[in-house]
Structure 1
Amino acid sequence: MSEPVTHPGGEPLSEDRCWEHLATSNLGRLIVVVEGRPEVFPVNYAVGDRTVVFRTGEGDKLAELTVYPNIAFEVDHVDETLAWSVVLHGRARTLTHYDEIQRAEELDLHAWAPGEKYNFVVIEPADLTGRRFTRTPA
């Protein structure tokens, strides 16, 4: 009987598995550059057509996405036996076309934070990577 294959840095996930994991959650971390410094913003999101969509209001995050659209986005999960992390690098853009906004509306995405969040932002992936870890008992 052969020994199971282990991956010291975690088992790499296929792109399909990454999208499956992203679809099981709705809270991620958006990493953008604000005034030349990386900042992390928790955002609730939805997955649609192999993109990530979130809503936001006017402010630093939206302004910086316009100036520096290259972003990173991370989602993870941990339970008693399993942990995984998915990282997406891509470009963010505010949806402006009626048909795109209509498709985003169909995702039934509602902002969690108070305030008006009229802007839909889509993250179009350039690359997507993920790792899965089997947790060992403490």
Structure 2
Amino acid sequence: MQLDQSGLQILDEDECRALLARAGIGRIVFTHQALPAVQPVNFLLSRGDIVIKVSRTSRLATAAADTVVAFEIDDYDIDAEAGWSVVAVGRARRVTDPREITMLEALPLRTWAPVERDTFIRVRPELITGRRIGNAAEAIVTP
């Protein structure tokens, strides 16, 4: 087990990807009007990419077109004082190819928000890091 300078366990890329594959909610970090913005989103993985569905008029759809974004998932057990966090950084792009859109429409990506979602954004992770604190291996079931 490898620890960082703060004493947190460093998760390897395979474990980070496995955690990404089973999570359904994450936070995407992007730039909006020259300021950082964070938005919770439903997502899934497709061919190793993070896929979200947004309204084409949303600030996220506008801001995350061919830009670098960060994406974060986590899970914590407050009582056990344990948890983990995974951050993926990569370039976001709007999906415009009709065949790719058809393929993504067939995936079980559901959004919670009531507004119609008509635009897919795909994030290709280029850097994936993760950390675990406390007894998270016991307190939180990991793949």
The bucket for the TM-score relative to the shorter chain is 0.7 to 0.9
CA apart distance, 1:24? 1.9
- Find the aligned partners of 1:130 and 1:29 in 2 and give their Cα distance: 15
CA apart distance, 1:126? 1.4
CA contact (8 A) 2:2 2:10 kept: no
Aligned match of 1:131: 131
* Structure 1: gaps of 5 or more residues: none
The two structures, once aligned, show a CA RMSD in angstroms of 2.0
- Find the aligned partners of 2:7 and 2:70 in 1 and give their Cα distance: 20
- Find the aligned partners of 2:60 and 2:94 in 1 and give their Cα distance: 11
CA contact (8 A) 2:2 2:9 kept: no
Runs ≥4 residues deviating over 3 A: 4-9
Quick check: 7-16 or 24-33, which moved more?
A: 7-16
Aligned match of 2:97: 97
CA apart distance, 1:51? 0.8
Q: How does 1:1-138 map to 2 (within 5 A)?
A: 8-57=6-55, 58-66=57-65, 69-79=67-77, 80-81=79-80, 82-135=82-135
TM-score normalised per structure 2: 0.83
TM-score normalised per structure 1: 0.86
What amino acid is the match of 2:112? W
Structure number with larger C-alpha Rg: 1
* Structure 2: gaps of 5 or more residues: 137-143
- Count matched residues: 132
- Find the aligned partners of 1:5 and 1:51 in 2 and give their Cα distance: 26
